[in-house]
């Protein structure tokens, strides 16, 4: 294990560029990703706190004037990645995409602060980070919940972080593909196409992206007219946890938090309404088509990470989670294996992702110690056997996707070294 800890550190350092870290050191992801950087920062915090803070501050340099933090920053413009900065064409000094990702960076920042001795210079930097992150969450509340219902919408499947999940199949099926659509993917030249999104799905991803671009990424306008508008339980769980953690940090650094405190209470109240009492699971809601989406995704269990103050509800969720991959050697598949949309190798439609295991583990630690330790052990064992890959088969543990994957290395460091 000591050897693998050193390899984990080396993986992050090899993928590091000037102040930020690539998800993997190859052509598949040649940029800085929002929630990847959060997980990566956590990994750095175990051996270089300044690198951890640098990862976050570099990401925040790409924050838009209205507060949005993009899901991709293209620091190196010499890339053939699709869609790259010229395709997005957002018009900011630091080239970026025009959409965002789950704000897990806030909760991870709090964990880093809580687990480390912070000097005065670092604290000054953290205070500035916290102010910018407050602006980020206020952007979500203003533009992704304009009616102030306490639940945040995503306007593109990529904003969820679990881009190709079958959660999106039904709302995506209603998106009419743009006529004469032309683009050239690079991902299927780097990774086996059997593991990547299908063309029919990518056509719709690009159609939605082009519609956002055509409307100049205007957040107020796009909430009303976007081709895709979904309230997702996984995203909202991360958002609610971020709200709670940010409020703690704001109070710690004597920054006003009253507006966010009111919204957090409303969010906790309304997120529970997405619970299906008969099936003991949460569902997503398609705003555009006014339909519930009930797909057994592991991300539905991110609700545990939100730390909802409801013991009875938590017990029901945990019971259901224990049956999600019951009898399987490897956990957790991104979609329950007995569901019709499950695909063992396809991106986010079956494989195990280390970040999903980590999020659920974090949510379980103070609710079911025995089960959380089981998840931790199973995840560590998987990485010990297979190495730092992007995702893994839930049937045989086969490593797939990108190799030397940064967040797998970073979260391995946390799984092994975090004693809290």
**Helix residue spans in 150-198 (DSSP H):** 169-173, 187-190
Q: In sequence order, what E strands does 140-220 have?
A: 153-154
Is residue 123 a contact partner of residue 56, using CB atoms and an 8 Å limit? no
User: Could you give the angle at which helices 406-417 and 354-364 cross, rounded to 10 degrees?
Assistant: 30
Tell me the per-residue pLDDT of 144-175, one tens digit each, with 9 for 90 and over.
999 999 999 999 999 999 999 999 999 999 99
**2-417: CATH, from 3.40.50.1010, 1.10.357.10, 1.50.10.10, 2.40.50.140:** 1.50.10.10
Quote the CA–CA distance of 128 and 279 in Å, as a whole number.
44
Q: Let me know if 163 is a catalytic residue.
A: yes
Of 285, 332, 278, 262, residue with least CA distance to 304:
332
What pLDDT score does 195 carry?
97
pLDDT attached to residue 273:
94
The pLDDT, as a whole number, for residue 365 is 95
From the candidates 201, 344, 368, 390, give the one annotated as an active-site residue.
390
Burial of 333-357, coded b for 16+ CB within 10 Å and e otherwise, reads bbbbbeeebbbbbbbbbbbbbbbbb
pLDDT single digits (tens) 188-231:
999 999 999 999 999 999 999 999 999 999 999 999 999 999 99
Could you give the dihedral angle defined by the CA atoms of residues 167, 168, 174 and 180, in that order, rounded to the nearest 10 degrees? -150
Whether the predicted model's global pTM rises above the 0.95 cut: yes
> Residue 391: beta bridge partners?
400
For the chain, the domains span: 2-417
Please tell me the predicted confidence (pLDDT) of residue 333: 98
Give pLDDT tens digits for 268-320.
999 999 998 888 889 999 999 999 999 999 999 999 999 999 999 999 999 99
What is the DSSP code (8-state) at residue 416? H
Using alpha carbons, select from 45, 3, 38 the residue that is nearest to residue 20: 38
Tell me the pLDDT of the chain averaged across its residues.
96
Band (238; pLDDT cuts 50, 70, 90): very high
Exposure string (b/e) for 127-153, b if CB count within 10 Å is 16 or more?
eebbebbbbbbebbbebbbeeeebbbb
Alpha helices in 276-340 (DSSP H): 311-322
State yes or no: pLDDT of 1 exceeds 70. no
- Tens-digit pLDDT profile for residues 358-374: 999 999 999 999 999 99
pLDDT, residue 213, reads 98
Is residue 343 flagged as an active site residue? no
Does the structure show a pLDDT above 90 at 25? no
User: Residue length, the chain?
Assistant: 420
Main-chain phi, psi angles of 102, to 5 degrees: -55, 135
At 28-84, the pLDDT tens digits run 999 999 999 999 999 999 999 999 999 999 999 999 999 999 999 999 988 888 999
* 86-143 residue pLDDT tens: 999 999 999 999 999 999 999 999 999 999 999 999 999 999 999 999 999 999 999 9
Out of 163, 169, 203, 343, the active site residue is 163
């Amino acid at each position: 294990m000591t050897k693998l800890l050193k390899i984990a550190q080396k993986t992050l350092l090899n993928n590091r560029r000037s102040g930020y870290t690539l998800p993997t050191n190859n052509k598949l992801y040649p940029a800085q990703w929002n929630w990847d950087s959060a997980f990566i920062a956590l990994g750095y915090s175990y051996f270089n706190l300044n690198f951890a803070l640098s990862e976050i501050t570099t990401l925040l340099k790409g924050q838009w004037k209205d507060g949005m933090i993009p899901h991709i920053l293209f620091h190196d413009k010499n890339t053939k990645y699709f869609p790259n900065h010229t395709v997005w064409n957002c018009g900011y000094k630091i080239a970026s995409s025009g959409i965002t990702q789950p704000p897990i960076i806030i909760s991870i920042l709090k964990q880093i602060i809580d687990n480390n001795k912070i000097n005065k210079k670092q604290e000054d930097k953290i205070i500035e980070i916290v102010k910018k992150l407050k602006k980020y969450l206020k952007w979500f509340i203003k533009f992704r919940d304009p009616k102030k219902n306490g639940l945040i919408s995503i306007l593109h499947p990529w904003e969820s972080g679990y881009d190709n999940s079958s959660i999106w199949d039904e709302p995506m099926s209603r998106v009419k593909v743009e006529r004469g659509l032309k683009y050239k993917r690079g991902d299927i030249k780097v990774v086996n196409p059997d593991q990547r999104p299908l063309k029919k799905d990518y056509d719709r991803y690009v159609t939605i992206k082009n519609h956002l671009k055509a409307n100049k990424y205007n957040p107020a306008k796009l909430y009303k007219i976007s081709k895709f508008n979904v309230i997702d339980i996984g995203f909202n769980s991360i958002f609610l946890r971020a709200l709670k953690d940010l409020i703690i940090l704001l109070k710690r650094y004597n920054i006003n938090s009253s507006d966010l405190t009111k919204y957090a209470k409303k969010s906790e109240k309304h997120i529970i309404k997405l619970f299906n009492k008969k099936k003991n699971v949460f569902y997503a809601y398609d705003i555009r088509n006014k339909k519930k989406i009930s797909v057994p995704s592991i991300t539905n269990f991110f609700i545990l990470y939100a730390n909802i103050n409801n013991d009875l509800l938590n017990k029901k969720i945990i019971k259901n989670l224990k049956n999600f991959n019951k009898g399987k050697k490897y956990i957790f598949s991104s979609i329950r294996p007995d569901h019709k949309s499950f695909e063992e190798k396809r991106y986010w439609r079956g494989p195990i992702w280390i970040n999903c295991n980590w999020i659920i583990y974090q949510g379980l630690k103070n609710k079911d110690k025995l089960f959380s330790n089981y998840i931790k052990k199973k995840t560590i064992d998987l990485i010990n056997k297979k190495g730092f890959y992007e995702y893994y088969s839930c049937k045989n543990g086969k490593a797939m996707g990108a190799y030397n994957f940064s967040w797998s290395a970073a979260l391995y460091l946390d799984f092994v070294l975090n004693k809290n």
